[in-house]
Amino acid sequence: MPLGGKHLDTTRCDSLWQGLPSQLRVLYVCDHQRTGRWLADAFSADTAVEIELHEAVGAVAGLARLRDELFDVVLIAHEPDELDALDLVEGCRAAGADEPLIVLGHQSEQEMAVLCYEAGADGYVCVNTGTTRGLIWLAAKALQRCQLLRQNRRLVQAEKQRLRREQEEAEHVLQQQRSLIGDLEKLRIADQFATLLDLEPVNSPGEAPAVSASPNVMAGPPDLPQTLIRHYRELLRAYVIMGSGNLAAELRPLAEILVTAAVSPREVMQLHVHVAAELIHGLGLRSSRHVITRADLLVVELMIHMAEAYRARYREVCCPPVQRLLPGMEDFVLATQAGE
């Protein structure tokens, strides 16, 4: 139909309707005068969307319907003397309702729109100047906002669950490493017990030599200087940020110090678990999988450097360095040996 000498662009309208759902369940909460009923009826009769309109008279009836049923959009009539839509909207939002709430009233939009937004409504339509299509698109925007909020809550909840699972996985890895340290401690105690039996064969029947160490899992820090523990803590934090290969110059001197001080790999692993547990607990709900992965790489690299250092010392013990003769002294030594 021509309008002002021009035709409506139906193709553009059809593309706009694609953003709307095919069906809508709408609750119309009204007063006894049914303010804006004609707009709600026109809204439900519009052919752009199939709308199922339900009516509830009064705030109590409207809240009861919202409690028992699900609706896509809620229209609330605003009649201050009988039904205050602003109070009803605030009550719905306080109760956790996230359905789109649109207020219908006789006041102008300049007067009521901001108040409705501040109360938690998604829009306000003046029944004297509003149109059906305007109400439809206001509801469509409110639906999109509601869907985005719900999707955002689901994503936030999924992210929290993922971080919680990562935290549990990191704690599980640390617990396994503590169990490994406990097994090594049990082996050390068994060797010490066997050595004591060989050195002291005379014992009363049933009496075993006392052993000071405990075979339980060692969860506390090792008996190492605090400066070394602080240095390893700073090294672990830097390793988590910089990654493998960037701190090789720091790890080799540290491995030499540990080997020179006769620190066992079990004590180094105990130091690592203690520092890593402190770092994981300080993360809160932040990602811990990256931290525990980098921490494992650090202790593996440190163990490799320590193994190489111990191997070099073992070769020095097995094949100690020999003082070589000065040039020209070979014949003198051979002659001396022949004279003897």
Task: Give the domain ranges of the chain.
Answer: 22-130, 159-199+218-318
Closest to 304 (Cα-Cα) out of 258, 240, 237: 258
- The pair of structure tokens assigned to 173 is 């890895």
Asked if pLDDT for residue 286 goes beyond 90, the answer is: no
For residues 45 and 32, which has the higher predicted lDDT (pLDDT)? 32
For residues 167 and 219, which has the higher predicted lDDT (pLDDT)? 167
Residues facing residue 25 across a β-bridge: 52
For residues 154 and 216, which has the higher predicted lDDT (pLDDT)? 154
- The pair of structure tokens assigned to 6 is 């021009």
DSSP strand pairing (23-30 vs 73-78): parallel
Residue in the block written with tokens 């953003």: 19
Contacts of 289 (CB under 8 A, 6+ apart): 166, 169, 170
Cβ count within 10 A of residue 266? 18
pLDDT of residue 12: 47
pLDDT of residue 210: 44
Summary mean pLDDT of the chain: 78
pLDDT digits (tens, 9 = 90+) for 292-303: 888 888 888 898
Q: Give the 3-state secondary structure of residue 40.
A: helix
pLDDT of residue 124: 92
Q: Quick one: 22-130 is in which CATH superfamily?
A: Response regulator (3.40.50.2300)
Residues facing residue 103 across a β-bridge: 76, 124
For residues 253 and 287, which has the higher predicted lDDT (pLDDT)? 253
